[in-house]
Structure 1
Amino acid sequence: MTTPVFQELRLEAIRREFGGFNALKGVSLTIRRGEFIALLGPSGCGKTTALNCIAGLLALSGGRIMLDDRRIDTLRPEQRGFGMVFQNYALFPHMTIAKNIGFGLRMRGTPADEMARRIAAAVQLVRLQGQEAKLPGQLSGGQQQRVAIARAIVIEPPLVLMDEPLSNLDAKLRLEMRQEIRRIHSSLGSTTIYVTHDQEEALSLADRIVVLREGEIRQVGTPEELYARPTDLGVADFMGYRNRVAGRLVGEAGGFVRVAIDGGELEGLLQGPAPKDGRVVVALRPEDLRAGAAGSVDAKVTAIEYRGHEFVGLAAVASGAELHFSADERLAAGAPVRLSGARERTLVFAETAA
């Protein structure tokens, strides 16, 4: 299958208002041909609104959307020719799998022989050979999602839009379908915009991740960039930095800053200029805060659970602030514990950077 040639899709200061609520506040983004872009953020951040504006399902309140030098936000959805995969599959229950996949082609008046060829190619691409005569209700959730993907790509769209397509699947199927979606994207050489609230999905699938919060873009970067260097506390929180504890800068050595916190001291990498008042927030992932005799933060274990390859616990410092940590052995609730952070993966933000 070939996709029509285009070089870039540009969102130029797009806005969308619902009454007095600004769901999108001047979002600008350039997406290059062939990219896999993940729109990532919590519920209500504007990611699905942005996708629906690109698809033409919602009109813009301001700004414009350009496909190369062609303005498309004034076009109806069917005139844009994009493929869409919905969270709930949106299959026709009375139609066979083949007819579901070919629905868009029939609406476009595609000749029968061409339609049969494209349907067969799409079925093969999503690995549903032998299922063509079945109804959607006879397939598993994962197979139904494959049908939805086949229906979106069979029209050979310049852009495939996916709105949390895996959220209704169990954990095993989500992992399998993630791999399939990336494989299909690579096979087609298409451009994909994928909405998710799952940072692991975004990290595993995307070429670039766009983190949205309260209708604005907070950071754009590769998965490696966002995982290792979120630019503010909001992005850090969404990228898995569950531990956030207030402290005060007390020194610097070897490129790392020292931060005094209640119960001890942590070292990390300062993000941005040092605040004049020295008040900072330390952010690190649970797997980067470990229990051990050489730790520098004193706390008490409040809960612990077994995760197969390690134990994951919750501990409270004297002020009551809680920290998520990892351990090699089970620790009793109420037991004292000393925690140490991996300083090269500990980020320090000015307290006002949230």
Structure 2
Amino acid sequence: MSTLGSFSTLKLDKVGRDFGAMNVLKDLSLTIRRGEFIALLGPSGCGKSTALNCIAGLLPTTRGSIWLDDKRIDTLGPEDRGFGMVFQNYALFPHMSVRDNVGFGLRMRSVAKNEADKRVAAALATVRLTDQAAKLPGQLSGGQQQRVAIARAIAVEPPLVLMDEPLSNLDAKLRLEMRQEIRRIHASLGSITLYVTHDQDEALSLADRIVVMRSGVIRQIGTPEDLYQRPASLDVAEFMGFRNRLPGRVSSVMGERISLDFGGDKLEGMAREQLDGKGVIAAIRPDDLVAGTSGVPATVEVCEYRGHAFFGAARGPGGAELFFRASQRLKPGETVHLAADPTRVLVFNETAP
């Protein structure tokens, strides 16, 4: 690949997008540095794909602005932004060879044939498909077809590569393989990759920074380590795998460390926000809530083996559904005591969204 044009940052400044009376994006502000891999993470309908399409120019913004360094680009058509886009469904032309699919964007940009041939060859080499160039897409596996789509996106040497859930149609093994490929390709380009996903594992394994969205707003931005270990709000914690929610009351406070009461049962955790003195929610990952001889009592409903440990679901105080880890199989109806390291128990206000 030849060197990309000079740029330093992509900036979204209070970007909004409405569909009729529905406010889908609400004052999105974000600065991304060249070379970063950014994941937009959130549940369906949170606005992440809408944000990507606004950046690509496939949707106009309702308000705000988008900048590549000091050049405003939200006023440009998608063909003038020069970005590469990879879709969930590959969007390959079935009657065209792999080589012709990869070169399609270059032909639309009227790139000279000799230069286009060089870029196509380089893109195919980057995705390791040089020996498949003469085949039709239907002759390739799903993973290979997705690599063709990536090659087509990078052949135009874009400052940004935009990926909208590109792995969701692949099986589990291919998804893992393609994660490694996508990260390798990103490193070789030196551009910005903006990647939309609802899969926290994908975001954690791929991104330099993760942008968690909900209801059209950014809830938290941070490194994978930040978001995994230190979610700033209850809704972010839930999306980052804290499936257990135990409602309770604060019985004592020792700095950040909180002692909690759950109907007479005790648990300790760490406050993640200024507590308002009312009810609280303790959020815990299933991996961190462990069956033992002490802790919150619960009744086992199901327990299954997952290779390295047993994982189960139980009913705790007040009928709360609890997901836990155990060292041995437990029977439905059995009483179990569940406990967690206080540093792995995050405490939020009960009124958190």
Contact kept in structure 1, 2:250 and 2:277, CA below 8 Å: no
Note the C-alpha offset of 1:36. 0.4
- Specify the SS of the correspondent of 1:149: helix
Partner of 2:324: 325
| CA separation of 1:213 and 1:230: change in aligned 2, threshold 3 A | same
Aligned length: 352
Secondary structure at the residue paired with 1:184? Answer: helix
- Structure 1 gap segments, 5+ residues each: none
Equivalent positions of 1:152-171 (< 5 A) are 152-171=153-172
**Structure-2 residue corresponding to 1:289:** 289
Say if 2:332 is the partner of 1:342. no
Distance 1:87 1:280, change over 3 A: same
Within 2, Cα distance between the matches of 1:262 and 1:171? Answer: 42
**SS of alignment partner, residue 130 of structure 1:** helix
What letter corresponds to residue 34 of structure 1 in structure 2? G
Counterparts of 1:51 and 1:340, CA distance in 2: 41
Match of 1:89 in 2: 90
Q: Which residue of 2 aligns with 1:280?
A: 280
Letter in 2 for 1:290: V
Deviation at 1:255, TM superposition (A): 4.4
1:77 aligned partner: 78
Shift of 1:254: 7.0
Distance 2:230 2:269 in 1: 12
1:2-48 deviation per Cα after TM superposition (whole angstroms, max 9, x unaligned): 21111111111111000111110111111111110000000000000
Render the CA deviation track for 1:277-317: whole Å, top value 9, x for unaligned. Answer: 3x110001000000011x21111101111111111000111
Is residue 2:137 matched to residue 1:136? yes
Cα distance, 1:345 vs structure 2: 1.2
Secondary structure at the counterpart of residue 132 of structure 2: coil
Q: Which runs of 5+ in 2 are unaligned?
A: none
Deviation track 1:183-226 (CA, whole Å, cap 9, x = no partner) reads 00001111100000000100000010000000000000010000
Report if the CA contact (8 A) 1:208-1:220 is conserved. yes
Tell whether the 8 Å contact from 1:12 to 1:63 is kept in structure 2 after alignment. Answer: yes
Residues 300, 335 of structure 1: 8 Å contact kept: yes
Q: Is the 8 A contact 1:263 1:298 kept in 2?
A: no
1:346–1:318 CA distance, 2 compared to 1 (3 A): closer
Q: Which residue of 2 aligns with 1:352?
A: 351
Cross-structure match for 2:214: 213
- In the TM superposition, what is the alpha-carbon distance from 1:274 to its structure 2 partner? 2.6
Given the two structures, how large is their TM-score scaled by the length of structure 2?
A: 0.98
Offset, 1:349:
0.5
Is 1:173 the counterpart of 2:168? The answer is: no
Q: Are the equivalent residues in 2 in contact too, given 1:263–1:317 (CA < 8 A)?
A: no
Aligned 8 A contact 1:91 1:148 in 2: yes
Find the aligned partners of 1:29 and 1:135 in 2 and give their Cα distance.
39
- Two-structure CA RMSD over aligned residues (Å): 1.0
Identity %: 64
After TM superposition, list the pairs within 5 Å mapping 1:228-247 onto structure 2. 228-247=229-248
- With structure 1 as the length reference, what TM-score do the two structures score? 0.98
1:348 maps to a residue whose letter is: V
Q: 1:210 to 1:188 in 2, by over 3 A?
A: same
Asked if the contact 1:262/1:317 (under 8 Å) is kept, the reply is: no
